[in-house]
Amino acid sequence: MAEKQNKLPISFDVTVSLSKAQVAVGKDMTTICFCTPNVDFLHGDRVKTYLTSDSFNKITTAGSSVYWAGQAFFAKSKRPRQIAVGRVFSSNQGAYLLSGSVSSLETLATIADGAFNITIDGTVQNITDLDFTSATDITGVASVINAALTGATCTVYHDNLIIRTTTTGSEATISYANAPASGTDVSSLLGLTEATGASYADGYTAGTIAEELQAIADAGTRAGLFFYGWTLDSYYRDTEDQFAAANWVNGRSFRAVGAMCTNNANAYNPASTANNGYKATELGLAGINYTYDDNAQVYPDISYLANFLAVDYNQEGSTIAGKFKDADGIAAVNFPDIETNVQTLNARRINTITGVIGQTLKYFREGVQSSAAWSTDGWVNVCNFISELEIEILNVFLRNKKVPYTPDGQNLLIAAASKICNKYKRNGSFSDGMEEDSTSETGYKVIPAFDIQIQEISATTAAQRAAHIGTPMTITVNDAGWMGSIAINVDVIA
């Protein structure tokens, strides 16, 4: 007989459930995307990231433009955790089916009547009579398949089989392989089915450089990546495509910073306007910086940008100026008349690398963006600030049942904004300043590092309430700035 019971669990009367409020996560603002036509990436897998120089060097060969880009990044003593590489396409691409691993060459070598079905450009093809008995390696397997295809080719791509349509552009289509009506089904043995790890992409129509960069950004988003920094292969230097790319990056506003390099000596010729760096300054491109170098092989733009994207904004006093930073392995630039030439570059807001007479050191100068309103650190700092601010404000809405039209509701938003403002004061992006004030006993007044103002609730309109629009907030921040030169007067008293 079962033992009688007289006690119930607490949960019989008290039910407790556990939930966690949604929290938005900030963007990673540290990744540089290097955009190049000179890598063998498929259009369906056009973006990859690299943590080490060894893994990066596997996609290129020593001495190539891509190789030197990797050298510039991984030579940095302080750099972001990873660099992304995005392929730019200049020609239309066919659809492709990329195999998973080919199971067993030994098993395939016993099959003389292999078969599979595949749909190419909307037409089902019955691939039959595949005789693999003489195929001793994966190249031989690809040759057997290639001979049986119509409107497509089969080759080896990084130890896998790839079937590509001869039709190119967005109208080209392909499918996974599947079982045939007759013959020995080899679709799985060849790794051409979804279940065996195959992947496919329909054809692709190449676009302008701006469209290609957007496609790279979109591919990153699909992979869960955000690219804040943008640089280009040296192939594009001093071309119309480079300038179009600069305008595209600048159009992303505070979501991007672009570093471009010019090798054109017109950059320091005051009589010439035929230079992309000059044109960027004339347009005042806030999100772009240009660096002049006399060596077409090296990437000072990547080295320069890596300095800023390596900053840890969580640390006190972590922000940096662009001037006086080492180029890490990239030599100082040679000029015909260095003082005059550098003065011209300074006037045009084009950075460069110089040494110092009597010293072995070399460093970047002047640390500026193409817009007269921005130094590079100021732009990058504010972009990071805005990224964190918008996430912190979003989390106010996510964490609370509602944010009411009351002082308490406003205080939730002000507290969130203050948190980020104080963080950026601690890391050195913003600071208190001083200005002359004739009404003050000291002759000056303190300008706070930041000031937050929010519209009075009484000023909220009926339309604002109906649309649930919060009371507008204005945040004024004081850029900490930095000293890049100094004049010293020495008085000698006899």
pTM: 0.92
The overall average pLDDT reported for the chain is 95
The pLDDT tens digits for 443-491 are 888 899 999 999 999 999 999 999 999 999 999 999 999 999 999 999 9
Cis peptide before 366 (omega within 30 of 0): yes
Higher pLDDT, 22 or 260: 260
User: Measuring CA to CA, how many Å separate 440 from each of 432, 434, 444, 445, 487?
Assistant: 17, 12, 6, 7, 29
Cα torsion angle, 135, 140, 143, 149, sign: positive
What is the pLDDT, as a whole number, of residue 494? Answer: 86
The partner residues of 93 in beta bridges, in order of sequence, read 204
Q: pLDDT value at position 259?
A: 98
Predicted confidence at residue 3, as pLDDT, reads: 74
Rounded mean pLDDT, 389-393? 95
Q: Report the distance separating Cα 474 and Cα 465, nearest Å.
A: 19
What band does 2 get if pLDDT is binned at 50, 70 and 90?
low
In sequence order, what are the residues at sequence separation of 6 or more whose Cβ sits closer than 8 angstroms to the Cβ of residue 20?
A: none
Chain segment 141-150, per-residue pLDDT in tens: 999 999 999 9
In angstroms, the CA 43 to CA 60 distance is 17
Give the list of residues 6+ apart from residue 193 with CB closer than 8 angstroms, or none.
176, 177, 178, 187
Give the integer Cα–Cα distance in Å for 246 and 371: 13
55-112 pLDDT, tens digit each: 999 999 999 999 999 999 999 999 999 999 999 999 999 999 999 999 889 999 999 9
